[in-house]
Amino acid sequence: MRESKCSSSTIKVHLELEYREIRLSLKLQGYLEPFQLSLEKLQEVSHRLRRDMTRGLGKHSHHNAPVKMLPTFVRATPDGTEKGDFLALDLGGTHFRVLHVRVVEEEQKVLKMDSQICTIPTDMMLGPGQQLFDHIAACLGDFISSRNLKGQTLPLGFTFSFPCEQKEIDKSILIRWTKGFKCSGVEGEDVVKLLKEAIQRRGDYEIGTVAMVNDTVGTMMSCGYRDQSCEIGMIIGTGTNACYMEEMKNVKRVEGEDGRMCINTEWGGFGDDGSLKDIQTTFDVMVDEASVNPGVHIFEKMISGMYLGEIVRLLLVKLTEDKFLFSGQASETLLMPGSFETNVIYPFISAEHSLENVEHILTKLGLKWDEVDARVVRVCCDTISSRSARLCAAALAAITNRIRNNRKLGHLKTTVGVDGTVYKKHPNFGEELQATVRLLAPACHITFMVSEDGSGKGAAMVTAVAQRLARQSRLLEDSEGEDEEEEEEDENN
């Protein structure tokens, strides 16, 4: 009898849970529908980005363009003949890295020989700029000395992750400091010049040519040595951005019409002019308004890792307030901005994570929950992640379709170098992005390659390619001179 009674009560609980889940799923759809973009809407978004890309490339229209389309002065991707030893310097926060990288032509490999992390003290982040660059030069010198590289004049790839206006591959003007830095005498100055001056003040070592590198470009170039068809770099992590090889004739802000140049799209700013208002949800608007830069980087705030978790949290709070979740009882933790981080999404979606992991997360958030609550949270995480992947696919399709049209090809075959925690760690993101971009760019066959250390190896590859082009240019100049001499000799005879 006891067994029968226990069995019937268990069945009753399951039936009640199933009934509640069915009832909730019908009501939940109304909340989730604004996040579920049709293929037609994604095509429209892709078309808008292509229009903004053209504006950003224009000589006069770029001033007001939300998608900045910055020239990088990287004029080619690797062709497999690059080789040699290089230094890389990666500065983007309270720590910076110095690396020794070797490019091996015979093995088609970029090897990180050694690296060192250096700390920037807090007071130095706020002090005179000369002090900061003297510190960087000192750390670079210590690295060169300790790795027995003294006496060699190695070229340097410089990843400087602050807003800059690049004038040439070795000239980059700092627009403004971010990330807690406020060193005097640097804004409005060429950071390559400041670094070289600091090295000259030491006088105990020399560096060769310097190439400034954006992180998306580093991503593209680090993959480009392994796959010469890689002409796009994309990052989907805390933030998001992409670069690609554009025809020089379309880069109106730079002289010359021959060949190609890598363009840093800065596509995170897509929508800053209000062009994405029709697909922004109330939760997107709330995230934007609460951010440190309202109205800026609208597209990034809809798809990147810094914001995805917060969008989910705001949706869960709304569902709780409307008594669809957690018996209408939100915890203090759930109500706290930033408490539902993007990496919390992954266990809810991944098939590899057990209910115990989900239970741990919800309990840590101070919530009283049941099985149906956990499933609803999973659906919310999945829907918002899916929108992110599909919007990213729409943006990537804009680039690949533009490349194909630029080259007047019926079919484009290309590779995208990818980096970023969302792409690498989210269990479904890459798969959904790839499936959607196939639908939006059916005439483009796209291979995805995960970047290995774009800020290190990629920076070295940018420098290596710049050197190769410089050598080819010198060879061309020499041969032109010889031809003229030969012609003069022929005329004299």
Residue 378 · residue 309 · CB < 8 Å: no
Structure token pair of residue 452: 């290995």
Catalytic residue among 134, 170, 190, 215: 215
E strands, 255-328, are: 260-264
- Using an 8 Å Cβ cutoff, are 52 and 401 in contact? no
Among residues 117, 93, 95, 119, the alpha carbon closest in space to that of 181 is found at 93
Would you call 179 a catalytic residue per the annotation? yes
Catalytic residue among 179, 182, 364, 368: 179
Number of Cβ within 10 Å of residue 258's Cβ equals 8
H or E element, residue 446: strand 444-450
Tokens of 230: 């890689």
Task: Please state, in angstroms and rounded to a whole number, the distance separating the CA atoms of residues 370 and 8.
Answer: 19
Say whether 277 is catalytic. no
How many C-beta neighbours within 10 Å does residue 454 have?
A: 29
Determine whether 426 is exposed, middle or buried from the number of CB atoms within 10 Å of its CB (0-12, 13-18, 19+). buried
* Ramachandran angles phi, psi of 339, nearest 5°: -75, -20
Token reading at 93: 């926060």
b/e map 116-125, b = 16+ CB within 10 Å: eebebeeebb
* Residue-wise DSSP of 80-135: S---EEEEEEEESSSEEEEEEEEEETTTTEEEEEEEEEEE--HHHHSSBHHHHHHH
CA-to-CA separations, 38 to 41, 50, 147, 398, in angstroms, rounded:
5, 19, 55, 16
Question: Distance between CA atoms of 46 and 321, rounded to whole angstroms?
Answer: 35
Catalytic positions, written as ranges? 179, 215
